Amino acid sequence: MFDLSGKTALVTGASGGIGGAVARALHAQGATVAISGTRREALDGLAGELGERVHVLTANLSDKDSVEALVPAAEKAMGQLDVLVNNAGVTRDNLFMRMKDDEWDAVIRVNLEASFRLMRAAVKGMMRKRWGRIVSVTSVVGTTGNAGQGNYAASKAGLVGMSKSLAAEVASRNITVNCVAPGFIETAMTDVLNEKQKESILTTVPMGRLGTAAEIGTAVVYLASQEASYVTGQTLHVNGGMAMI
Amino acid sequence: MSDIAARVKKIVIEHLGVEPEKVIESANFIDDLGADSLDTVELVMAFEEEFSVEIPDDAAETIRTVGDAVSFLEKKAAA
Protein backbone atom coordinates (compact mmCIF):
# COMPACT_ATOMS: atom_id res chain seq x y z
CA MET A 1 0.00 0.00 0.00
CA PHE A 2 0.98 3.61 -0.66
CA ASP A 3 3.90 2.61 -2.86
CA LEU A 4 5.27 5.64 -4.69
CA SER A 5 8.03 3.91 -6.64
CA GLY A 6 8.50 5.56 -10.01
CA LYS A 7 6.61 8.68 -8.93
CA THR A 8 8.18 12.11 -8.73
CA ALA A 9 7.30 14.78 -6.20
CA LEU A 10 8.12 18.44 -5.64
CA VAL A 11 7.96 19.63 -2.04
CA THR A 12 8.20 23.34 -1.33
CA GLY A 13 9.43 24.62 2.00
CA ALA A 14 11.46 21.45 2.44
CA SER A 15 14.08 23.25 4.52
CA GLY A 16 11.50 23.54 7.29
CA GLY A 17 10.36 20.94 9.80
CA ILE A 18 7.11 19.81 8.19
CA GLY A 19 8.38 20.10 4.62
CA GLY A 20 11.45 18.03 5.45
CA ALA A 21 9.28 15.35 7.04
CA VAL A 22 6.97 15.33 4.01
CA ALA A 23 9.94 14.85 1.68
CA ARG A 24 11.30 12.05 3.90
CA ALA A 25 7.93 10.29 3.96
CA LEU A 26 7.41 10.47 0.18
CA HIS A 27 10.98 9.33 -0.40
CA ALA A 28 10.59 6.42 2.02
CA GLN A 29 7.66 5.18 -0.10
CA GLY A 30 9.92 5.13 -3.15
CA ALA A 31 9.28 8.51 -4.74
CA THR A 32 11.95 10.63 -6.34
CA VAL A 33 11.76 14.02 -4.65
CA ALA A 34 12.70 17.55 -5.63
CA ILE A 35 13.11 19.60 -2.49
CA SER A 36 12.89 23.34 -2.65
CA GLY A 37 13.35 25.95 -0.01
CA THR A 38 15.17 29.10 0.90
CA ARG A 39 17.85 27.64 3.15
CA ARG A 40 20.33 25.83 0.94
CA GLU A 41 22.25 24.31 3.85
CA ALA A 42 19.19 22.60 5.30
CA LEU A 43 18.25 21.31 1.84
CA ASP A 44 21.74 19.94 1.22
CA GLY A 45 21.65 18.25 4.63
CA LEU A 46 18.32 16.61 3.83
CA ALA A 47 19.56 15.57 0.39
CA GLY A 48 22.63 13.98 1.98
CA GLU A 49 20.43 12.10 4.41
CA LEU A 50 18.11 10.81 1.67
CA GLY A 51 20.98 9.82 -0.62
CA GLU A 52 19.53 8.79 -3.96
CA ARG A 53 16.40 9.96 -5.78
CA VAL A 54 16.68 13.53 -4.56
CA HIS A 55 17.14 16.88 -6.29
CA VAL A 56 17.77 20.19 -4.57
CA LEU A 57 16.08 23.24 -6.10
CA THR A 58 16.35 26.60 -4.43
CA ALA A 59 13.53 29.04 -4.93
CA ASN A 60 12.31 32.26 -3.42
CA LEU A 61 8.54 31.92 -3.36
CA SER A 62 8.00 35.62 -2.74
CA ASP A 63 9.52 36.26 -6.17
CA LYS A 64 7.16 35.67 -9.12
CA ASP A 65 9.86 34.68 -11.60
CA SER A 66 11.49 32.32 -9.15
CA VAL A 67 8.11 30.64 -8.57
CA GLU A 68 7.38 30.33 -12.29
CA ALA A 69 10.75 28.65 -12.84
CA LEU A 70 10.27 26.02 -10.14
CA VAL A 71 7.91 23.51 -11.78
CA PRO A 72 9.82 23.53 -15.09
CA ALA A 73 13.05 22.99 -13.11
CA ALA A 74 11.51 20.04 -11.25
CA GLU A 75 10.19 18.53 -14.50
CA LYS A 76 13.59 18.93 -16.06
CA ALA A 77 15.39 17.35 -13.10
CA MET A 78 13.01 14.40 -12.72
CA GLY A 79 11.60 14.00 -16.23
CA GLN A 80 8.03 14.71 -15.11
CA LEU A 81 6.09 15.84 -12.06
CA ASP A 82 3.47 13.52 -10.55
CA VAL A 83 3.00 15.02 -7.10
CA LEU A 84 3.12 18.67 -6.04
CA VAL A 85 3.19 19.45 -2.34
CA ASN A 86 2.58 23.12 -1.55
CA ASN A 87 4.06 23.25 1.90
CA ALA A 88 6.00 26.50 2.02
CA GLY A 89 4.43 29.03 4.29
CA VAL A 90 5.33 32.12 6.24
CA THR A 91 3.73 33.94 9.14
CA ARG A 92 3.67 37.66 9.90
CA ASP A 93 1.38 37.63 12.89
CA ASN A 94 -0.19 40.81 14.10
CA LEU A 95 -3.48 41.95 15.52
CA PHE A 96 -5.84 43.07 12.81
CA MET A 97 -5.87 46.74 13.71
CA ARG A 98 -2.10 46.83 13.69
CA MET A 99 -1.51 44.72 10.62
CA LYS A 100 0.61 46.44 7.99
CA ASP A 101 -0.01 46.11 4.28
CA ASP A 102 3.36 44.45 3.83
CA GLU A 103 2.57 41.84 6.48
CA TRP A 104 -0.63 41.00 4.65
CA ASP A 105 1.07 40.99 1.24
CA ALA A 106 4.04 38.84 2.29
CA VAL A 107 1.84 36.08 3.67
CA ILE A 108 -0.63 36.07 0.78
CA ARG A 109 2.18 36.15 -1.77
CA VAL A 110 4.03 33.11 -0.45
CA ASN A 111 1.24 31.00 1.01
CA LEU A 112 -1.49 31.58 -1.56
CA GLU A 113 -0.19 33.21 -4.73
CA ALA A 114 2.93 31.05 -5.08
CA SER A 115 0.76 27.96 -4.59
CA PHE A 116 -1.58 29.17 -7.34
CA ARG A 117 1.31 29.61 -9.74
CA LEU A 118 2.83 26.23 -8.89
CA MET A 119 -0.52 24.45 -9.23
CA ARG A 120 -1.23 26.14 -12.57
CA ALA A 121 2.16 25.09 -13.89
CA ALA A 122 2.08 21.54 -12.50
CA VAL A 123 -1.41 20.67 -13.65
CA LYS A 124 -0.45 21.04 -17.32
CA GLY A 125 1.89 18.07 -17.26
CA MET A 126 -0.52 16.12 -15.07
CA MET A 127 -3.34 16.67 -17.61
CA ARG A 128 -1.16 15.24 -20.34
CA LYS A 129 -0.34 12.16 -18.29
CA ARG A 130 -3.90 11.81 -17.00
CA TRP A 131 -2.55 11.39 -13.49
CA GLY A 132 -1.54 13.79 -10.76
CA ARG A 133 -1.67 14.60 -7.09
CA ILE A 134 -1.62 18.05 -5.56
CA VAL A 135 -1.51 18.37 -1.80
CA SER A 136 -1.38 21.71 -0.01
CA VAL A 137 -0.40 21.97 3.61
CA THR A 138 -2.83 24.38 5.21
CA SER A 139 -3.60 24.85 8.90
CA VAL A 140 -6.32 24.32 11.42
CA VAL A 141 -6.54 28.10 11.73
CA GLY A 142 -7.73 28.31 8.12
CA THR A 143 -10.93 26.73 9.41
CA THR A 144 -11.15 27.97 12.98
CA GLY A 145 -9.49 31.37 12.68
CA ASN A 146 -6.96 32.59 15.20
CA ALA A 147 -6.41 35.94 16.88
CA GLY A 148 -3.35 37.63 15.44
CA GLN A 149 -3.33 35.54 12.29
CA GLY A 150 -5.85 37.21 10.00
CA ASN A 151 -3.44 37.14 7.09
CA TYR A 152 -2.23 33.59 7.70
CA ALA A 153 -5.74 32.21 8.24
CA ALA A 154 -6.94 33.96 5.07
CA SER A 155 -4.11 32.44 3.06
CA LYS A 156 -4.82 28.94 4.36
CA ALA A 157 -8.58 29.20 3.89
CA GLY A 158 -7.83 30.56 0.42
CA LEU A 159 -5.80 27.47 -0.36
CA VAL A 160 -8.76 25.29 0.58
CA GLY A 161 -11.18 27.12 -1.73
CA MET A 162 -8.64 27.20 -4.53
CA SER A 163 -7.93 23.49 -4.15
CA LYS A 164 -11.61 22.59 -4.26
CA SER A 165 -12.10 24.61 -7.44
CA LEU A 166 -9.15 23.03 -9.19
CA ALA A 167 -10.24 19.61 -7.92
CA ALA A 168 -13.58 20.06 -9.65
CA GLU A 169 -11.90 21.11 -12.89
CA VAL A 170 -9.44 18.25 -13.23
CA ALA A 171 -11.12 15.32 -11.47
CA SER A 172 -11.97 13.72 -14.82
CA ARG A 173 -8.25 13.53 -15.60
CA ASN A 174 -7.38 11.46 -12.53
CA ILE A 175 -5.81 14.44 -10.84
CA THR A 176 -6.73 14.92 -7.21
CA VAL A 177 -6.29 18.15 -5.27
CA ASN A 178 -6.44 18.01 -1.50
CA CYS A 179 -5.21 19.73 1.64
CA VAL A 180 -3.67 18.54 4.88
CA ALA A 181 -4.41 20.83 7.81
CA PRO A 182 -1.99 20.42 10.71
CA GLY A 183 -2.83 21.53 14.22
CA PHE A 184 0.00 22.23 16.68
CA ILE A 185 3.10 20.43 15.43
CA GLU A 186 6.57 20.30 17.01
CA THR A 187 8.69 22.48 14.74
CA ALA A 188 10.93 25.51 14.93
CA MET A 189 7.70 27.56 14.70
CA THR A 190 6.40 26.07 17.98
CA ASP A 191 9.84 25.77 19.69
CA VAL A 192 9.76 29.48 20.35
CA LEU A 193 6.78 29.04 22.68
CA ASN A 194 7.59 28.84 26.38
CA GLU A 195 6.42 25.99 28.63
CA LYS A 196 3.47 27.96 29.93
CA GLN A 197 2.29 28.76 26.42
CA LYS A 198 2.69 25.14 25.41
CA GLU A 199 0.75 23.98 28.43
CA SER A 200 -2.13 26.27 27.68
CA ILE A 201 -2.18 25.14 24.04
CA LEU A 202 -2.25 21.51 25.08
CA THR A 203 -5.39 22.03 27.14
CA THR A 204 -7.14 22.51 23.78
CA VAL A 205 -5.77 19.27 22.31
CA PRO A 206 -7.62 16.11 23.40
CA MET A 207 -4.57 14.03 22.49
CA GLY A 208 -2.62 15.98 25.12
CA ARG A 209 0.52 16.41 23.06
CA LEU A 210 1.88 18.29 20.07
CA GLY A 211 1.85 16.46 16.76
CA THR A 212 5.03 15.46 14.98
CA ALA A 213 6.08 16.55 11.52
CA ALA A 214 6.24 12.86 10.57
CA GLU A 215 2.51 12.59 11.27
CA ILE A 216 1.92 15.28 8.65
CA GLY A 217 4.23 13.48 6.24
CA THR A 218 2.14 10.33 6.58
CA ALA A 219 -1.06 12.19 5.76
CA VAL A 220 0.54 13.67 2.64
CA VAL A 221 1.76 10.23 1.56
CA TYR A 222 -1.79 8.91 1.78
CA LEU A 223 -3.24 11.69 -0.39
CA ALA A 224 -0.37 11.34 -2.87
CA SER A 225 -0.91 7.62 -3.26
CA GLN A 226 -2.77 5.70 -5.91
CA GLU A 227 -4.94 4.31 -3.12
CA ALA A 228 -6.41 7.76 -2.44
CA SER A 229 -7.64 8.00 -6.03
CA TYR A 230 -11.29 8.74 -5.12
CA VAL A 231 -10.47 11.42 -2.55
CA THR A 232 -10.44 14.93 -3.98
CA GLY A 233 -11.28 18.46 -2.86
CA GLN A 234 -10.89 17.39 0.76
CA THR A 235 -9.00 18.64 3.77
CA LEU A 236 -7.49 16.02 6.03
CA HIS A 237 -7.20 17.51 9.52
CA VAL A 238 -4.26 16.20 11.54
CA ASN A 239 -4.60 17.91 14.88
CA GLY A 240 -4.94 15.44 17.74
CA GLY A 241 -8.63 16.21 18.00
CA MET A 242 -8.10 19.91 18.59
CA ALA A 243 -10.82 20.77 16.07
CA MET A 244 -13.20 18.09 14.87
CA ILE A 245 -14.54 19.30 11.58
CA MET B 1 -5.64 18.45 -47.20
CA SER B 2 -2.81 20.69 -46.10
CA ASP B 3 -0.13 19.41 -43.81
CA ILE B 4 -1.43 21.69 -41.06
CA ALA B 5 -4.98 20.37 -41.47
CA ALA B 6 -3.75 16.78 -41.26
CA ARG B 7 -1.81 17.49 -38.07
CA VAL B 8 -4.76 19.29 -36.51
CA LYS B 9 -7.05 16.39 -37.40
CA LYS B 10 -4.65 13.90 -35.84
CA ILE B 11 -4.50 15.84 -32.58
CA VAL B 12 -8.28 16.16 -32.41
CA ILE B 13 -8.79 12.43 -33.04
CA GLU B 14 -6.22 11.50 -30.40
CA HIS B 15 -7.42 13.95 -27.77
CA LEU B 16 -11.14 13.49 -28.09
CA GLY B 17 -11.13 9.85 -29.09
CA VAL B 18 -13.57 10.48 -31.95
CA GLU B 19 -14.07 8.75 -35.31
CA PRO B 20 -11.80 10.27 -37.99
CA GLU B 21 -14.76 10.79 -40.36
CA LYS B 22 -16.42 13.07 -37.80
CA VAL B 23 -13.45 15.42 -37.79
CA ILE B 24 -14.57 17.61 -40.69
CA GLU B 25 -13.84 21.29 -41.11
CA SER B 26 -17.22 22.44 -39.83
CA ALA B 27 -17.17 20.14 -36.77
CA ASN B 28 -17.61 22.14 -33.58
CA PHE B 29 -15.42 20.74 -30.80
CA ILE B 30 -18.10 21.03 -28.13
CA ASP B 31 -21.37 20.55 -30.06
CA ASP B 32 -20.26 17.95 -32.60
CA LEU B 33 -17.25 16.23 -31.08
CA GLY B 34 -18.35 16.02 -27.44
CA ALA B 35 -15.55 18.09 -25.97
CA ASP B 36 -15.99 19.81 -22.63
CA SER B 37 -14.37 23.12 -21.70
CA LEU B 38 -11.33 21.38 -20.26
CA ASP B 39 -10.91 19.42 -23.49
CA THR B 40 -10.84 22.65 -25.48
CA VAL B 41 -8.10 24.01 -23.20
CA GLU B 42 -6.14 20.80 -23.72
CA LEU B 43 -6.61 20.98 -27.48
CA VAL B 44 -5.26 24.52 -27.56
CA MET B 45 -2.29 23.39 -25.45
CA ALA B 46 -1.70 20.52 -27.85
CA PHE B 47 -1.86 22.85 -30.87
CA GLU B 48 0.61 25.20 -29.19
CA GLU B 49 3.00 22.35 -28.64
CA GLU B 50 2.64 20.74 -32.06
CA PHE B 51 3.07 23.98 -33.95
CA SER B 52 5.38 25.78 -31.50
CA VAL B 53 3.11 28.80 -31.35
CA GLU B 54 1.46 30.71 -28.58
CA ILE B 55 -2.31 30.98 -28.74
CA PRO B 56 -3.52 33.79 -26.45
CA ASP B 57 -6.78 33.35 -24.56
CA ASP B 58 -8.78 35.75 -26.72
CA ALA B 59 -7.68 33.92 -29.87
CA ALA B 60 -8.36 30.54 -28.25
CA GLU B 61 -11.95 31.62 -27.66
CA THR B 62 -12.48 32.09 -31.40
CA ILE B 63 -11.32 28.55 -32.20
CA ARG B 64 -14.57 26.62 -32.02
CA THR B 65 -14.36 24.28 -34.98
CA VAL B 66 -11.72 22.15 -36.66
CA GLY B 67 -11.71 24.67 -39.52
CA ASP B 68 -11.17 27.57 -37.09
CA ALA B 69 -8.09 25.84 -35.73
CA VAL B 70 -6.69 25.07 -39.16
CA SER B 71 -7.17 28.59 -40.50
CA PHE B 72 -5.74 30.14 -37.32
CA LEU B 73 -2.65 27.95 -37.49
CA GLU B 74 -2.25 28.46 -41.24
CA LYS B 75 -2.29 32.22 -40.70
CA LYS B 76 0.28 31.86 -37.92
CA ALA B 77 2.48 29.73 -40.16
CA ALA B 78 2.24 32.29 -42.97
CA ALA B 79 3.07 35.19 -40.67
Domain holding B23, by residue range, is: 3-78
Enter the DSSP assignment of A112.
Answer: I
Q: Report chain A residues whose CB lies below 8 A from the CB of B38.
A: 127, 169-170, 172-173
Provide, rounded to the nearest whole percent, the portion of chain A with pLDDT above 90. Answer: 92
Annotated active-site residue in B31, B36, B58, B68: B36
The reported pLDDT for the residue numbered A192 is 79
* Number of domains within chain B: 1
pLDDT score of B60: 93
Query: Which CATH number covers residue B37?
Result: 1.10.1200.10
The percent of residues above 70 in pLDDT, for chain A, comes to: 100
Judged by average pLDDT, the poorest of A71-80, A227-236, B69-78 is B69-78
**Is B45's CB within 8 Å of A127's CB?**
yes
- pLDDT of A190 above 80: no
Nearest to A211 by CA among A170, A232, A234, A240: A240
What's the confidence (pLDDT) of residue A108? Answer: 98
Dist CA A114 CA B50 (whole Å): 29
Q: Is the pLDDT of residue A94 over 70?
A: yes
Put simply, whether B42 touches A (Cβ < 8 Å) is yes
**Mean pLDDT for the stretch of residues A122-134:** 95
Q: What is the mean pLDDT of residues A60-87?
A: 97
Catalytic, out of A31, A114, A132, A152? A152
Domain A8-238, what fold? Rossmann fold (3.40.50)
- Output the CA–CA distances (angstroms, integers) from residue A229 to A125, A146, A203, B33, B60, in the order listed: 18, 32, 36, 28, 32
Query: Hey, where are the domains in chain A?
Result: 8-238
pLDDT at residue A35 above 70? yes
Residue type, A9: A
pLDDT digits (tens, 9 = 90+) for B24-35: 999 999 999 999
Tell me the mean pLDDT in the region A53-79: 96
Weakest-pLDDT range from A121-125, A140-144, A196-200? A196-200
Residue A27: C-alpha distances to residues A11, A62, A80, A176, A229 (Å):
11, 27, 16, 20, 19
- Touching check for B78 and chain A: CB below 8 Å? no
| Residue B24 touches chain A, beta carbons under 8 Å | no
pLDDT at position B1, please?
Answer: 65
pLDDT of B24 = 95
- B36 counts as catalytic: yes
Q: In the predicted model, is pLDDT for residue B79 greater than 80?
A: no
Burial (0-12, 13-18, 19+ Cβ within 10 Å), A215: buried
pLDDT digits (tens, 9 = 90+) for A145-160: 999 999 999 999 999 9
Mean pLDDT rounded to a whole number for chain A: 96
